[in-house]
Amino acid sequence: MSDLVQLTKQNDIAVITINNPPVNALSPGVPEGISEALDQIEKDDAVKAAVLIGGGRTFVAGADIKEFGKMTAGKKRGAGLLPLLLKIEDSTKPIIVAIHGTAFGCGLELAMAGHYRVALASAQVGQPEVKLGIIPGAAGTQRLPRLAGVAKAVEMCTTGNPVKAEEALKFGIIDKIIDGDLLTGVVAFAREVAGKVAPKTRERNGKLGNTAENAAVFAGARENAATKQRGLRAPLAAIDAIEAATTMPFAEGCQLEQKLFIECLFSDQSKSLIHVFFSEREVSNIPDVPKDTPLIPIKSAAVIGAGTMGGGIAMVLANAGIPVLLKEADQAALDRGLATIQSNYANSVKRGRFTAQVAEERLKLIKPTLTYEGFANVDLVIEAAFEGMALKKEIFKDLDRVCKPTAILASNTSTLSIDEIASATKRAESVIGMHFFSPANVMRLLEIVRGKATSKEVIATFMALSKTLGKVGVLVGNCRGFVGNRMFGPYRREAQFLVEEGAGIAAVDKALTDFGMAMGPLATGDLAGLDVGWRIRKEYRHLEKPGIRQPFAEDKLCELGRYGQKSGAGWYKYDASRRAAPDPAVDQLIRDWVAEAGIPQRQISAEEIADRCLYALVNEGARILEEGYALRASDIDIIYINGYGFPSYRGGPMWYADTVGLKQVYERVMEFQRQHGEIWEPAPLLKRLAEQGRTFADVGKEEGAAA
Ligand code: NAI
């Protein structure tokens, strides 16, 4: 038998143990080992029942995701697990599956082929495949509804969310929760059921419901998927497969599941989601910062400024159990900031995210102050005062004086140079950018901005800290706008140009939401506040090259006090609950302005709108990559998916460009250059890769410069 599976006996009970650390993935050798063990058990008259259990810290936690890649690359195709699962189910002796840790994906599919399932109270089960753009491929969609009922199976397979043991028991996915030692408990359970007729899951049709009930469940689920998982194919495929369980015999249901599974697996959506899965792990890999770089312990922190960002950042720290001093310039601002924090926590309690007691404990960790008292003891300070170099330098000078020498000083600036801020201190090696996204307590992205002098220890500490804070930290270089906002500039510039050329406000946003963006670029501007960009543009106007076309409609809207949602009107108008509606007054204004400016108006297709906005994003991303401000194309993808609502099923902007083909992207950029001039000059990297027939993903592997 393979080393990965062991067969032992406890008198009349056989014990099959899977030992494939770290997570007992069903990689090659494991299914074969289980199959051989079943053969021996079948032959051994002394054995009355068998237990299937995982060695180490978990049962089978899921498939080896790299195997999916091999399947789509054509290197590996086989019958899959289905024959083994039938063999388990057809065993003449009861097979009891014992679950600890997690039984996810094919782990749960394996468990469901057993005749009974028991679990520790701490165990979890689930079918998370949808998160990778696929569906269960080993009869999960056929067996789960037979155990848990149709509605629960639909919920689990479409959301991919795990289910705790207690809930799994309630829904019949498991038969018993074991207190104490799992093996002892399951062997005792096995003795109870030994010799009795063992139920085969595939023959248990009692929970498959009736046509009328099921029709309502499936219709509701399809509607839900269409809104909450807009554009995703896998949730709909999962629903189709579960529906088949209710209308077809088991074997035919399995065949349909296989067909849908293969369709999903070979889809661009799945390849993109798998790319995102690996890219999110890759971000913490920084070539010149080794994994064993010593970390600086962060046990306490301080935040400067209790405005929009500072308040959210203080909550993020408190949520992670880190006590935080929150300093403001005056009492009124401090009171306002605290009131917002309190109301945010109260809302979370109301929505059932955590209890009032938890909220109170977190709130207690935030200590408001107007002075630097206590700053000498903190390990980290995050500055989130107004955006202005002079003010930031003054604050950093103070911090350098009052904080202990080992304290890290971070700025949440969104545009200013970290190196210049650091120059106000005598510890540039301990200064770093920590660019949160608004609202800081909700958005997962954190751009960690490396200054010229930032030490490796500080970088390593921040990469680890971002995980502690529940964020995805991506290391970026110190350029204007860093990675995310620098790319967002050209993207939003094109959206405005398109409106000025006659595309229509709603049509521009719709082309991008149809592509899969969470919001259109103009609606996003309204949400963030049009005045933010307006102020920045005014400040940097002197840097603009004369003779280069600039969008103007947004600045004119600001001059009219139309700042977006906060002022009730921007590109759209907003009601009291901030619901957007088209505003004919803006359409008229724009018609007047463009007539005055002499900009010819024309019909513009959704395809052109999407290409112009997205390729502007990609072209700037290519420059950033070449200049070394991002380590890898996939880091840019992670930034856009987690901070800018880019659809994860398209893998991020750089991956998307790779899937379109860089030659085609390059040619389109050239076409835009011919039409619109030098702002569309192709990035040298894009040109080179297109000519060489290569991809951005290749660059990440070979030439990635340090940020
Ligand atoms: P805000 O105006 O809401 O808050 C700034 C707060 O800092 C104010 O409450 C002000 O009283 C306080 N403050 C000013 N000087 C201070 C001092 N010397 N000591 C203590 N407190 C002081 O601004 P917001 O939006 O929170 O921005 C803060 C920083 O975060 C800026 O650098 C901004 O560029 C950056 N940022 C903003 C984002 C956003 O979406 N609002 C996103 C990411 C970064």
Asked if the model's pLDDT at residue 702 lies above 70, the reply is no
**Would you state the pLDDT for residue 64?**
78
**Would you state the pLDDT for residue 265?**
95
Q: For residue 41, what are its two tokens? A: 């058990």
Bridge partners of 477, per DSSP, are 450
Measuring from atom 9 of ligand 1, which residue has the nearest CA? 307
Q: Full-prediction pTM beyond 0.75?
A: yes
Confidence of residue 704 (pLDDT cuts 50, 70, 90): very low
Average pLDDT in the chain = 95
Q: What is the CATH superfamily name and number for domain 5-266?
A: 2-enoyl-CoA Hydratase; Chain A, domain 1 (3.90.226.10)
Model confidence pLDDT, tens digit, residues 520-532: 999 999 998 999 8
Asked if the model's pLDDT at residue 568 lies above 60, the reply is yes
C-alpha 32/C-alpha 468 separation (Å) is 40
* CATH 3.90.226.10 domain range(s) in the chain: 5-266
Asked if the model's pLDDT at residue 705 lies above 50, the reply is no
CATH, domain range 301-476: 3.40.50.720
**Would you state the pLDDT for residue 707?**
43
**Multiple choice CATH, 484-703, 1.10.1040.50, 3.30.450.40, 1.25.40.10, 3.30.950.10:** 1.10.1040.50
Asked if the model's pLDDT at residue 105 lies above 70, the reply is yes
**Would you state the pLDDT for residue 79?**
62
Q: Is the CB of 233 under 6 A from ligand 1?
A: no
Q: Is the CB of 278 under 6 A from ligand 1?
A: no
Model confidence pLDDT, tens digit, residues 68-103: 777 777 655 556 899 999 999 999 999 999 999 999
From ligand 1's centre to the CA of 313, what distance in Å? 11
**Would you state the pLDDT for residue 706?**
40
**Would you state the pLDDT for residue 539?**
78
Of all residues in the chain, what percent are helix, strand and coil, respectively (each to 5)?
A: 55, 10, 35
From ligand 1's centre to the CA of 105, what distance in Å? 44
Confidence of residue 22 (pLDDT cuts 50, 70, 90): very high
Asked if the model's pLDDT at residue 412 lies above 80, the reply is yes
Q: Is the CB of 96 under 6 A from ligand 1?
A: no
Residue to probe by mutation, ligand 1, list 412, 417, 448, 540, most atoms within 8 Å of CB: 412
From ligand 1's centre to the CA of 387, what distance in Å? 6
* CATH 3.40.50.720 domain range(s) in the chain: 301-476
From ligand 1's centre to the CA of 307, what distance in Å? 5
Q: Is the CB of 327 under 6 A from ligand 1?
A: yes
Measuring from atom 35 of ligand 1, which residue has the nearest CA? 413
* Mean pLDDT calculated for residue range 459-463: 98
**Would you state the pLDDT for residue 27?**
87
**Would you state the pLDDT for residue 1?**
64
Strand 573-574 to strand 95-99: parallel, antiparallel, or no bridges (unpaired)? unpaired
From ligand 1's centre to the CA of 634, what distance in Å? 30
* CATH 1.10.1040.50 domain range(s) in the chain: 484-703
Measuring from atom 14 of ligand 1, which residue has the nearest CA? 385
Model confidence pLDDT, tens digit, residues 431-447: 999 999 989 999 999 99
- Cβ–Cβ under 8 Å, residues 458 and 429: yes
Q: Is the CB of 386 under 6 A from ligand 1?
A: yes
**Would you state the pLDDT for residue 178?**
98
Residues 6+ apart with CB under 8 A from 272: 133, 648, 649, 650, 651, 652, 655, 656, 659
C-alpha 223/C-alpha 244 separation (Å) is 18
- Cβ–Cβ under 8 Å, residues 6 and 30: no
Q: For residue 449, what are its two tokens? A: 């901005």
* Mean pLDDT calculated for residue range 468-492: 96
**Which has the higher per-residue pLDDT, 416 or 2?**
416
* Mean pLDDT calculated for residue range 136-161: 98
**Would you state the pLDDT for residue 31?**
94
C-alpha 521/C-alpha 519 separation (Å) is 7
Asked if the model's pLDDT at residue 700 lies above 80, the reply is no
Atom of ligand 1 nearest to the CA of 528: 40
Model confidence pLDDT, tens digit, residues 336-366: 999 999 999 999 999 999 999 999 999 999 9
Asked if the model's pLDDT at residue 14 lies above 90, the reply is yes
Atom of ligand 1 nearest to the CA of 385: 7
> Would you call 50 helix, strand, or coil by DSSP?
strand
Q: Is the CB of 446 under 6 A from ligand 1?
A: no
CB-count burial class (<10 Å; 0-12, 13-18, 19+) for 254? buried
Q: Is the CB of 438 under 6 A from ligand 1?
A: yes
Point out the residues that are catalytic.
Answer: 109, 129
* Mean pLDDT calculated for residue range 145-173: 98
| Amino acid, res. 689 | L
Angle between helices 530-540 and 521-528 (to 10 degrees): 90
From ligand 1's centre to the CA of 272, what distance in Å? 36
Q: Is the CB of 414 under 6 A from ligand 1?
A: yes
Q: Is the CB of 524 under 6 A from ligand 1?
A: no
C-alpha 278/C-alpha 25 separation (Å) is 17
**Would you state the pLDDT for residue 364?**
98
